[in-house]
Amino acid sequence: MSSQSKPHILFRREEIAATVSRLAAEIKQDYQDRCPLFIGILKGSFVFMADLIRLLDFPLEVEFIRVSSYGRGRESSGKIKVVRGLSSPIKGRDVLLIEDIVDTGLTTGFVLDYLGKKKPASLRFCSLTDKPSRRQTLVNIDYLGFTVPDKFLVGYGLDWDERFRNLPDICFLEDGD
């Protein structure tokens, strides 16, 4: 892959919209009377989170957390740390963690552990996509959009080296393109 790589469409914007609506309906069912706190993992989750919360017509709050994981390109360093923490306490809150993709599972596993130690009343996890083929640690996804093949995805918030987040469709980059 290079900065010249051409993205190929995997899920079109209409299909993404239908899936986000389905997730919103599931989440509404479980959270409408609980004023949940949605915590997005930056940066990849921001487009998904923005679309998701606008489909929810009940009180909720939004937070973000940023962790360092991937460097340039595709491989995770495996070492994860929080580089931007929460700006308010989550003790006693109903927390829903929002992510763009679960790949090895190391990032999600780390963040769920980190949040769990802060004693929320409940902690669940919603991911737009799941790439199970490269999983290294068990992660339970309570609300899942798409299961995806072992390809490098970009668009709808997902990046390659910070590029392509602005594509409205979920695309993949091919090695050698």
> Annotated catalytic sites, by residue?
103
Residue 158 sits in the site that holds ligand IMP (CB under 6 A): yes
Subset of residues 21 to 50 that bind Mg ion, contact rule: CB under 5 A: 44
Q: Which of ligand IMP, Mg ion, none interacts with 114 (beta carbon under 5 to 8 A by kind)?
A: none
Residue 76 sits in the site that holds ligand IMP (CB under 6 A): yes
Residue 167 sits in the site that holds ligand IMP (CB under 6 A): no
Angstrom distance (rounded) from CA 109 to CA 60: 24
Q: Which of Mg ion, ligand IMP, none interacts with 153 (beta carbon under 5 to 8 A by kind)?
A: ligand IMP
Angstrom distance (rounded) from CA 40 to CA 68: 14
Give the position of tokens 């994860």: 80
Residue 40 sits in the site that holds ligand IMP (CB under 6 A): no
Looking at beta carbons only, is 37 or 67 nearer to ligand IMP?
A: 67
CB atoms within 10 A of CB 74: 13
CB of 76 to ligand IMP, least distance (A): 5
Give the position of tokens 């798409």: 146
Looking at beta carbons only, is 33 or 73 nearer to ligand IMP?
A: 73
Six-digit token string for 8:
């190929």
Contact with ligand IMP (CB under 6 A) among 39, 153, 170, 171? 153
Residue 127 sits in the site that holds ligand IMP (CB under 6 A): no
Q: Is 153 left (phi over 0), alpha (psi -120 to 50) or beta?
A: beta
Sheet holding 143-147, edge to edge: 76-84, 61-70, 37-42, 94-102, 122-130, 143-147
Nearest 5°: phi and psi at 47? -70, -50
Looking at beta carbons only, is 32 or 76 nearer to ligand IMP?
A: 76
